[in-house]
Amino acid sequence: MQVRRTDDRRLRLVMARPTGWISGGDVATRRTNRRRDVSPERMEMNDGLPERVERGEDLVLLLDGPDGEGVLVTGAVAGRVPQGRHDPDLMDRAAVGAAVFMRERLRTEKRQRLPDQLIVYFEELNAAENDSQVMRALADHALRIVGAHTSVALMREASGLLRAPVPTEPCACRARVCMAWDDRFGEPGLILSEDARPGGAIPGAAPLFGDPHTVLVAHVPVGGDGVLVLTERRDERIFEPEDWDVLRALALQAQMALRRLKLLEDVRTLSLTDPLTGLGNRRHMELMLAHAWAAARRGDPLAVVVLDLDGFKEVNDTLGHHAGDELLCAVGEALRDEARESDVVVRFGGDEFLALLTGGTAEGGHLLVERLRKRLGTRVGISAGVAAYTPEMATAEEMIRLADRRLYDGRASRRPAH
């Protein structure tokens, strides 16, 4: 049951005006439209609230109150303010008071939403599989949590350029932002439109002001990996201290996610790379061979070359293991240079190497062996076996065994007769 106070009374409306509040940021902006002024005489108040104003309607109302104070109402926000009926600045005073109430309401709502928003952000970072996904998540959630007109997280490349991640839907996006790194991006700060002009403090930031309505840019570094940028069109926009705290926290979490991905990539690289020659290892070959074999089953050409060094044991025994390692590295470098970009070259084990020619033929395999022998010259002898895929082969291992058998047959045929 609703209980009403017995001392309820009607309050006289002193002023009412539409304001056109823009609530997309921290500070609401008043855009007065005098043609839509509401006549105070046409509205009555009960219990201190307007009868015809629903929650969220863009009106500033000033109600006559006791002791020289009035009740200022904007949407569903109300508060007590000094009021003078004959003050010519009454409208401006009311608008300033309404802006304060609106800003505080927005700040309170942002604080209430923040924990849930951060949880969603952390979950998206944990699910990211590459750097671009991390940076897109950072930009999206910074825009959603802190608010601005646009946002973008730029990756720092080895060349020193800052570049936006590749869009997931290129046809639906504008051109990627690309600009030079500036040391000022190493700290949080603001860039005004005049700073990005020729002769300004940061003329290299001009790409961020491609929108002629952009008046300022807020930037926060993402470690040494990039920078988060928020563009704003509103002159009166103020980035509060708590906004900077949130932006720094979001950037820090993105930096940690980038480090996690790099660590995983380093571990993966170590697990698939031969530490001596830098070529792929047996594990790498097995992974690539599975894809190449499936393509061969669908009709794509595939060939394999198995290589072995002649007299490698004697090199180790007479010159030492250091000389043997240098020889293996030289062979690995020669293989990497002579093979096609699409070929997969690995150190199979010991002094044995393997080249997987995706889309290649047995003839291409023999040509690779000849180029390799010519490059190495008399430094070391090469024995090789080549096999190409045929539909009769049941497994990829069968193709490798055939190439291996041809290698030993060729080596045996070169041995001098006793």
The CA dihedral of 408, 409, 415, 418, to the nearest 10 degrees, is 120
Ordered domains of the chain (ranges, CATH): 10-105 (no CATH), 128-269 (3.30.450.40), 282-414 (3.30.70.270)
Tokens at 20, concatenated: 């056109």
Residue 89, pLDDT score: 60
Residue 8, pLDDT score: 44
Identify the segments of the chain with pLDDT beneath 50.
Answer: 1-9, 19-57, 171-173, 418
Residue 104, pLDDT score: 75
Label each residue of the chain as H, E or C: CCCCCCCCCEECEEEEEECCCCCCCCCCCCCCCHHHCCCHHHCCEECCEECCCCCCCCEEEEEECCCCEEEEEECCEEEEEECCCCCCCHHHHHHHHHHHHHHHHHHHHHHHHHHHHHHHHHHHHHHCCCHHHHHHHHHHHHHHHCCCCEEEEEEECCCCEEECCCCCCHHHCCCCCEEECCHHHHCCEEEEHHHHCCCCCCHHHHHHHCCCCCCEEEEEEECCCEEEEEEECCCCCCCCHHHHHHHHHHHHHHHHHHHHHHHHHHHHHHHHECCCCCCECHHHHHHHHHHHHHHHHCCCCEEEEEEEEECHHHHHHHHCHHHHHHHHHHHHHHHHHHCCCCCEEEEEECCEEEEEEECCCHHHHHHHHHHHHHHHCCCCEEEEEEEECCCCCCCHHHHHHHHHHHHHHHHHHHCCCC
C-alpha span between 210 and 217 (Å, rounded): 12
Q: Do residues 94 and 105 touch, judged by C-beta distance below 8 A? A: no
Residue 20, pLDDT score: 45
> For 52-69, how does the pLDDT look when each residue is reduced to its tens digit (9 = 90+)?
444 444 555 666 665 566
Q: Do residues 305 and 385 touch, judged by C-beta distance below 8 A? A: yes
Contacts of 108 (CB under 8 A, 6+ apart): none
Contacts of 332 (CB under 8 A, 6+ apart): 274, 276, 277, 278, 279, 345, 347, 353
C-alpha span between 61 and 59 (Å, rounded): 6
Tokens at 187, concatenated: 């700290």
351 catalytic residue (yes or no): yes
Q: Do residues 310 and 327 touch, judged by C-beta distance below 8 A? A: no
Q: Provide the angle, in degrees to the nearest 10, between the axes of the packed helices 321-338 and 362-376.
A: 130
Report residue 5: phi and psi, to 5°.
Answer: -70, 150
Residue 2, pLDDT score: 38
> For 201-255, how does the pLDDT look when each residue is reduced to its tens digit (9 = 90+)?
898 899 999 888 999 999 999 988 899 999 999 888 889 899 999 999 999 999 9
Residue 311, pLDDT score: 86
Residue 23, pLDDT score: 32
Alpha-carbon radius of gyration of the chain: 36
Residue 64, pLDDT score: 61
Residue 90, pLDDT score: 57
Nearest of 240, 258, 307 to residue 129 by alpha carbon: 258
List 77's β-bridge partners, or say none.
Answer: 74
26, 58, 131, 351: which one is catalytic? 351
Nearest of 19, 74, 12, 73 to residue 41 by alpha carbon: 12
> For 128-166, how does the pLDDT look when each residue is reduced to its tens digit (9 = 90+)?
999 999 999 999 999 999 999 999 999 998 888 999 887
